[in-house]
Amino acid sequence: QVQLVESGGGLVQPGGSLRLSCAASGSIFSIARMAWFRQAPGKQRELVAAMPSSGHTNFAASTKGRFTVSGDNAKNTVYLQMNNLNPEDTAVYYCNLVDHLGDYWGQGTQVTVSS
């Protein structure tokens, strides 16, 4: 079983920045993809960034140029750096991992952008 734990969410003013972390643990087999999703109140969950094991990271159009992703293989952790945040970025952010055996989700971390 794979466990994903997100952290780093919080309240930030418009124009501010946050960095989310997703720490993966457990029995991980041949990662196909890691991704960040978000879900705003009353809306469907949407993809923020997809990081396939081979290939380039893809970003949602609304986040391109503002969000970046990085990883620390030694810590089995991926990061979502979010800059120039605006109120439309307010949502619960989820980490997702797809490997050879399954599709796993973290519990989510709340990001609120408000003045």
Q: Please, which residues have CB within 8 angstroms of residue 58's CB and are 6 or more apart in sequence?
A: 49, 50
Of 103, 113, 114, nearest to 28 by C-alpha is 103
37-41 long-range Cβ contacts below 8 angstroms, 24+ apart = 37/93, 37/94, 37/96, 38/89, 38/91, 38/92, 38/93, 38/94, 38/111, 39/91, 39/92, 39/94, 39/108, 40/88, 40/90, 40/91, 40/92, 41/91
Q: pLDDT value at position 66?
A: 96
Q: pLDDT value at position 104?
A: 95
Rounded-to-integer distance, Cα 91 and Cα 113, Å: 9
One digit per residue, the tens of pLDDT, for the chain of length 115 reads: 899 999 999 999 999 999 999 999 888 878 888 999 999 999 999 999 998 888 788 899 999 899 999 888 788 889 999 999 999 999 999 999 998 888 999 999 999 999 9
Q: pLDDT value at position 29?
A: 78
Q: pLDDT value at position 76?
A: 84
Q: pLDDT value at position 56?
A: 86
Rounded-to-integer distance, Cα 15 and Cα 30, Å: 37
Under a CB-based contact definition with an 8 Å cutoff, are residues 36 and 8 in contact? no
Q: pLDDT value at position 30?
A: 82
